[in-house]
Amino acid sequence: MPPHPFTIAVSGKGGTGKTTISSLLLRSFIALGETPVLAVDADPNANLHEALGVAVHETLGSMREEAFSRNIPPGMNRHDYVRFRFRQALVEAEGFDLVAMGRPEGTGCYCFANDLLSECMKQLERDYRFIVIDTEAGMEHISRGTIGKPDMLLIVSDPGARGLRTIARIREIATQLGLEKEKIHVVFNMYKTGAAPVDIGGELPIAVVPEDPSVEKADLAASPVSLIPSDSPARVAVRELAERIRGMAGER
């Protein structure tokens, strides 16, 4: 494994299951022994922690710039304090850590939270073997450079017409932002048996995750979707994806 972690940004329109894929991917890396893994919930509607079965007590969005500046202890510079506060916001679990962007308090913008994430990603990246980032379809964090330049962009979609349009839009945005085409891959999720083949522009999806009753059952029970049975169809498919990504990371 190279000294820097392999970073995977997971994108897709709402309702396609990108958070489910992100959480299952992280659990798969843990099962493969590729620990520790850093999970970053970069979606304002943060729910990656629920999919992973951990609690978040503080987000970067809840940190106010004014209070942050006032509270630097004597003898500690801003760089050290950023690292200290970021680690306080980290949720530490077995095999992985999680940090959530969340929403800014009051009328504040995301500028300060984005700056915190950007600075701390650079500081902490050597601590992890893989970084899985649950992000938005709009590519904001890539355009701002908040998460750096990911080694891989996974576009999660259902195999319908609207999903295909979203794939094309996200791919176009990503390439305009300088991400190489060979780093952009499609994951079809909730794929129904017997569905017609889908044309995504002469390229095969990197993974096809079948519709899985275990995922729906976990959602209905409000239980962590990443902890569905290890032999369930979705978990098996994502584990195969993780093995493929691990091989690609090794070739980097």
The position carrying tokens 């890396």 is: 29
Structure tokens at 228: 């569905």
Short-list 125, 146, 38, CA closest to 83: 125
**Which residue, among 120, 127, 131, 114, has the nearest Cα to 84 in the 3D structure?**
120
Rounded distance between C-alpha atoms, residue 38 and residue 191, angstroms: 28
Higher pLDDT, 44 or 207: 207
Span of 77-81, 100-104, 192-196 with lowest mean pLDDT: 192-196
Cis link prior to 210 (omega < 30° from 0)?
no
Q: What integer pLDDT is reported at residue 115 of this predicted model?
A: 72
How would you write the chain as a 3-class SS string? CCCCCEEEEEECCCCCCHHHHHHHHHHHHHHCCCCCEEEEECCCCCCHHHHHCCCCCCCHHHCCHHHHHHCCCCCCCHHHHHHHHHHHHCEEECCEEEEECCCCCCCCCCHHHHHHHHHHHHHHHHHCCEEEEECCCCCHHHHCCCCCCCCEEEEEECCCHHHHHHHHHHHHHHHHCCCCHHHEEEEEEEECCCCCCCCCCCCCCCEEEECCHHHHHHHHHCCCHHHCCCCCHHHHHHHHHHHHHHHHHHHC
Residue 156 neighbours by CB distance under 10 Å: 28
Give the least confident one: 31-40, 75-84, 90-99: 75-84
Q: How confident is the model at residue 1 (pLDDT cuts 50, 70, 90)?
A: very low
- Compute the distance between CA of residue 207 and CA of residue 200 in angstroms, rounded to an integer: 13
> What digits encode the pLDDT tens for the residues 227-242?
999 999 999 999 999 9
Q: What pLDDT digit, counting tens, does each position of 140-179 carry?
A: 656 565 666 889 999 999 877 777 788 888 888 888 888 8
pLDDT the model gives residue 223: 95
Tell me which of 28-42, 83-97, 102-116 is least confident: 102-116
Average pLDDT score over residue span 187-215? 79
Tokens read off for 125: 């990246």
**Per-residue confidence at 187, pLDDT binned at 50, 70, 90?**
very high
The confidence score (pLDDT) of residue 215 equals 95
Distance CA 25, CA 190 (A): 15
More confidently predicted of 209 and 63: 209
Q: What is the pLDDT, as a whole number, of residue 2?
A: 46
**pLDDT, tens digit, 9 for 90 and up, residues 10-35:** 998 888 899 999 999 999 999 999 99
Domains of the chain plus CATH, in order, are: 6-251 (3.40.50.300)
